[in-house]
Amino acid sequence: MAMVRFKGRVWTPSITRQMSFFHSCMAVVGSTVHAKLYGLPKKDEIYVTRNGRLSVVFWPTDDMEKYQYSLGNLCSSPNQLMRLSSTYHRLGSSLWHSSNALEKQLPSVGVYRRYRLAYERLTAGLSLTSVIGRHIPELLTARLIKLHPSYSNQKVELIISELTYPSEQTPLTKSQLSLLGIGAILQKRRLKIDDFLNYPEIRSQLRDYLKRYGAIPVNFCEDPWSEDDVVQQLRDILNYDCAEEWRKIIKNHNKQCRQTRMLLSRIGDTEIRRWAKALQIGTTLNEYRKFIFCRASLAYRPMFILIAKRCDLADWRECWKFTPDEVESLYFKKDRSALKILPRRKLTGVMYSPKLNTYCLLAPRELPAFLRESDHKPSIENKEKQKGQIKVNGVIANAGIIRGRAKIIMGRPDFDKFRDGDIIVTAMTSVDFVSIMRRAAAFVTNEGGITSHASIVSRELNKPCIIGTKIATKVFKDGDRIEVNANKGIVRILTK
């Protein structure tokens, strides 16, 4: 694994995401100052961000070892695990309400600071769900193999997939059920999609849908759904029997829950039951925090738009290059001195400073070492091997075998090339993939664990899914006819 030596410690890159520099400043404070709210030790982080919005997160190896050990102990205690879940939801609710207050016209500085504190507190739980998704499956796998040494890796993966299905549906699936409900009404009344605007009750349902779920595709830096987006989604689902599709999702969820309960009831080992419960809760929290941060990432945008207008910025997204304190000065004090910093913010690094008790920026001379690791490219030899490969192996997230056309989908700009029945091949899915995932035949990802978005949605929709292949997007090309064998964890090319 790539490593950086910095300030007497060894740092490893852990996550690369579309996250703003503005977010990064609050996140490094949260992971250090507020981790104790979750009953966990502090964990230093360094965010290196390009163009204000693409961040690589580095973690120190010594902190990660302590963090994983503490989280493992916490997850092994049912009472502590429930307290963790309760804390997560309480802090999430606080950020939700703070976001609503901030988004109102002309918020006060007090409202902004309360939002910022709520944001920092929930960022302390950002890595929690990803560590649960990576670390706890290792413990569960080791325990299953110890008790059943004859089990193959594939059998263990299938058992873990079934054991860890969460009883609570994700916000993503709830949004699709809600949209199918609107579609079912249109079909029952034999209304055309172009005529629905003439029906106040349908328009009201659409507005409610947008208010509740419009933030889903935002992640941290993307756009929310517009009314036009939702109308297009309605057009797509009206090609199906919406009432029947709604029933299928509910039926599959209930079936999966029953299978999980039955399997858990047959397992007498306390340790396995505890790890399985931890992964169920981790899965639910993972999707919950995405939903909350999508909402929170919309709340400050009216402020950013006003700052951009006052300061003649070409795009409000330039405000992602400001620190939270600079945003406060620009918006509430109308202090424009931060504007001269923008040209130097194309590349930034930020970490927590114990001396300042807040974030601090890395000096430009300190960034090259982190850039070398975040820009790490595969060797020419590995590239040639990938070109010649016809199959990849990964972790089974949901069983099944399917054949179809591969489509490499790296984000929303690629959605237009997707056709119903295609197989999504991607680095990792995110909440904005919802409009195409229901129509896909299967999912294959480079990254992710059992609590990842693709893993969760594949089980909710009962579609074959293989995660963690590392190189699927390099091996397969658009239009390749491939077979996803999610009973064995293998994806192979049939014809190019």
Q: What is the pLDDT of residues 237-247, one digit of tens each?
A: 999 999 999 99
Q: Are residues 108 and 15 in the same domain?
A: yes
336: in domain: yes
3 state SS of 375: coil
- DSSP of 27-78, one letter per residue? HHHHHHHSGGGGT------EEEEETTTEEEEEEEHHHHHHHHHHHHHHHT-H
159: in domain: no
Q: Which of 190, 121, 152 is nearest to 487 (CA)?
A: 152
Distance CA 301, CA 319 (A): 9
Beta bridge partners of 360: 351
Global confidence as pTM: 0.90
Going by the DSSP 8-state scheme, the letter that residue 469 receives in this structure is -
Q: Are residues 326 and 390 in the same domain?
A: no
Residue 1 is predicted with a pLDDT of 52
Among candidate residues 374, 401, 436, the one where a domain is terminated? 374
* CA end-to-end distance (rounded Å), the chain: 33
Residue 141 is predicted with a pLDDT of 94
φ and ψ of 336, to 5 deg? -90, 10
Q: Are residues 26 and 88 in the same domain?
A: yes
Q: Are residues 448 and 326 in the same domain?
A: no
Residue 193 is predicted with a pLDDT of 78
Which pLDDT tens digit goes with each residue over 261-303? 999 999 889 999 999 999 999 999 998 999 999 999 999 999 9
User: What is the 3-class SS of 346-380, one letter each residue?
Assistant: CEEEEEEECCCCEEEECCHHHCHHHHHHHCCCCCH
Residue 379 is predicted with a pLDDT of 44
Q: Are residues 124 and 202 in the same domain?
A: no
Average pLDDT, the chain: 92
User: What is the 3-class SS of 391-416, one letter each residue?
Assistant: EEECEEEECCEEEEEEEECCCHHHHH
Distance CA 249, CA 349 (A): 44
Distance CA 213, CA 340 (A): 38
| Mean pLDDT lowest among 123-132, 374-383, 420-429 | 374-383
Distance CA 120, CA 142 (A): 35
301: in domain: yes
Distance CA 88, CA 281 (A): 11
Q: Which of 204, 215, 208, 202 is nearest to 434 (CA)?
A: 215
Residue 313 is predicted with a pLDDT of 96
> Which residues lie below 8 Å from residue 193, measured CB to CB, with a gap of 6+?
186, 231, 234, 235, 238
265: in domain: no
Residue 254 is predicted with a pLDDT of 96
Q: Are residues 325 and 363 in the same domain?
A: yes
Distance CA 18, CA 357 (A): 26
Tell me the CATH number at 414: 3.50.30.10
Distance CA 186, CA 194 (A): 11
196: in domain: yes
**CA-angle at 301, arms to 298 and 305, nearest 5°:** 160
Residue 438 is predicted with a pLDDT of 87
Distance CA 269, CA 272 (A): 6
Distance CA 450, CA 276 (A): 11
Q: Which of 127, 44, 122, 136 is nearest to 88 (CA)?
A: 122
Residue 380 is predicted with a pLDDT of 40
Q: Are residues 326 and 408 in the same domain?
A: no
Among candidate residues 340, 374, 408, the one where a domain is terminated? 374
Distance CA 398, CA 484 (A): 11
Among candidate residues 324, 354, 374, the one where a domain is terminated? 374
Mean pLDDT of 92-121: 95
388: in domain: yes
**CA-angle at 441, arms to 437 and 442, nearest 5°:** 75
Mean pLDDT of 249-255: 95
pLDDT band for position 194 (50/70/90)?
A: confident
Q: Determine what percent of the chain is predicted with pLDDT higher than 90.
A: 78
Give yes or no for residue 384 having a pLDDT over 50. no
pLDDT band for position 197 (50/70/90)?
A: low
Beta bridge partners of 405: 481
Q: Which of 376, 375, 345 is nearest to 51 (CA)?
A: 345
Residue 492 is predicted with a pLDDT of 96
Alpha carbon 359 to chain centroid, angstroms: 24
Q: Are residues 397 and 469 in the same domain?
A: yes
Give yes or no for residue 29 having a pLDDT over 90. yes
Which pLDDT tens digit goes with each residue over 296-343? 999 999 999 999 999 999 999 999 999 999 999 999 999 999 999 999
Contact between 322 and 338 under an 8 Å Cβ cutoff? The reply is yes
Q: Are residues 15 and 67 in the same domain?
A: yes
Give yes or no for residue 155 having a pLDDT over 90. yes
Structural tokens at position 38: 């979750």
Distance CA 433, CA 453 (A): 10
Give yes or no for residue 376 having a pLDDT over 60. no
Count of the separate structural domains present in the chain: 3
Residue 387 is predicted with a pLDDT of 59
Q: Are residues 471 and 404 in the same domain?
A: yes
Contact between 453 and 477 under an 8 Å Cβ cutoff? The reply is no
Structural tokens at position 143: 């325990």
Q: Are residues 115 and 35 in the same domain?
A: yes
158: in domain: no
Mean pLDDT of 127-131: 88
Q: Are residues 57 and 91 in the same domain?
A: yes
Give yes or no for residue 180 having a pLDDT over 70. yes
Q: Which of 2, 347, 283, 338 is nearest to 129 (CA)?
A: 283
Going by the DSSP 8-state scheme, the letter that residue 13 receives in this structure is E
Question: Position of tokens 């300061």?
Answer: 311
Q: 346: domain range?
A: 4-139+287-374
Residue 346 is predicted with a pLDDT of 94
φ and ψ of 352, to 5 deg? -85, 140
267: in domain: no
Structural tokens at position 352: 């927590």
